[in-house]
Amino acid sequence: MTENSTEIFTGSFTQQEPIPEEAIEAAVAVMRHGRIHRYNLAEGEAGETALLEQEFAAQVGAKYCLAVASGGYALATSLRAVGVKPGDKVLTNAFTLAPVPGAIASVGAEPIFVGVTKALTIDLEDLQAKCAEAKVLMLSHMRGHLCDMDRLMEICDAAGVVVIEDCAHTMGAAWNGVPSGRHGLIGCYSCQTYKHVNSGEGGLLITDDAEVAARATMLSGSYMLYGRHLAAPEAEVFEQVKYDTPNISGRMDNLRAALLRPQLRGLDAQVTRWNDRYRMVEQGLGDVPGLTLVPRPAAETYVGSSFQFLLLDWTAEAIDAVLQRCAARGVEMKWFGVPEPVAFTSRYDSWRYAPAQSLPESDRILAGIIDMRIPLTFSIEDYALIARIIRSEVSAVFQGAG
Ligand X SMILES: *Cc1c(COP(=O)(O)O)cnc(C)c1O
Interface pick for ligand X out of 136, 137, 138, 142 (rule CB under 6 A): 142
Based on CB atoms, which residue is closest to ligand X, 102 or 330?
102
Give the span between the Cα atoms of 141 and 167, in whole angstroms: 6
Residue showing the smallest CB distance to ligand X in the complex: 71
At closest approach, how far in Å is the CB of 144 from ligand X? 10
At closest approach, how far in Å is the CB of 4 from ligand X? 35
Is residue 392 close enough to count as binding ligand X by CB under 6 A?
no
Based on CB atoms, which residue is closest to ligand X, 140 or 392?
140
3 state SS of 265: helix
At closest approach, how far in Å is the CB of 142 from ligand X? 6
- C-alpha closest to that of 92 among 122, 133, 125: 122
Based on CB atoms, which residue is closest to ligand X, 325 or 334?
334
Q: How many residues bind ligand X (CB under 6 A)?
A: 15
Catalytic residue among 63, 85, 135, 195: 195
Interface pick for ligand X out of 49, 91, 99, 220 (rule CB under 6 A): 99
Piece in contact with ligand X (CB under 6 A), picked from 64-72, 221-229, 230-238, 276-284: 64-72
Give the span between the Cα atoms of 386 and 330, in whole angstroms: 9
Indicate if 130 belongs to the active site. no
DSSP one-letter string for 328-382: HTT---EETT-SS-BTTB--GGG-TTSPP---HHHHHHHTTEEEEE--TTS-HHH
- C-alpha closest to that of 230 among 45, 43, 32: 45
User: First CA to last CA across the chain, in angstroms?
Assistant: 26
User: Phi and psi dihedrals of 217, rounded to 5?
Assistant: -65, -45
Is residue 203 close enough to count as binding ligand X by CB under 6 A?
yes
Q: How far is CA 325 from CA 151, 311, 385, 392, 396, in A?
A: 41, 15, 15, 10, 10
Is residue 187 close enough to count as binding ligand X by CB under 6 A?
no
Is residue 140 close enough to count as binding ligand X by CB under 6 A?
yes
| Exposure b/e, 189-224, CB count within 10 A at least 16 = b | bbbbeebbbbbebbbbbbbebbebbbbbbbbbbbee
Based on CB atoms, which residue is closest to ligand X, 113 or 226?
113
At closest approach, how far in Å is the CB of 193 from ligand X? 9
Indicate the burial class of 139 (C-beta count within 10 angstroms; 0-12, 13-18, 19 or more): buried
Based on CB atoms, which residue is closest to ligand X, 168 or 210?
168
Give the span between the Cα atoms of 189 and 158, in whole angstroms: 26
| DSSP H/E element including 264 | helix 254-265
Q: How far is CA 214 from CA 64, 137, 209, 256, in A?
A: 9, 21, 9, 22
Based on CB atoms, which residue is closest to ligand X, 264 or 285?
264
Interface pick for ligand X out of 65, 107, 168, 365 (rule CB under 6 A): 168
Interface pick for ligand X out of 123, 166, 209, 282 (rule CB under 6 A): 166
Strands 110-114 and 89-93 come out as parallel
Encoded one letter per residue, x for contact with ligand X by CB under 6 A and - for no contact, window 19-58 reads: ----------------------------------------
Is residue 96 close enough to count as binding ligand X by CB under 6 A?
yes
Interface pick for ligand X out of 180, 192, 217, 222 (rule CB under 6 A): 192
Piece in contact with ligand X (CB under 6 A), picked from 96-104, 109-117, 148-156, 261-269: 96-104
Q: How far is CA 368 from CA 279, 295, 318, in A?
A: 21, 15, 11
Piece in contact with ligand X (CB under 6 A), picked from 95-103, 209-217, 286-294, 376-384: 95-103
For helices 380-401 and 267-284, the axis angle rounded to 10 degrees is 30
Give the span between the Cα atoms of 158 and 155, in whole angstroms: 5
Based on CB atoms, which residue is closest to ligand X, 201 or 320?
201
Piece in contact with ligand X (CB under 6 A), picked from 91-99, 256-264, 279-287, 329-337: 91-99
Which residues sit at the interface with ligand X, rule CB under 6 A? Answer: 70-72, 96-97, 99-100, 140, 142, 166, 168-169, 190, 192, 203
Q: What amino acid positions are annotated as catalytic residues?
A: 195
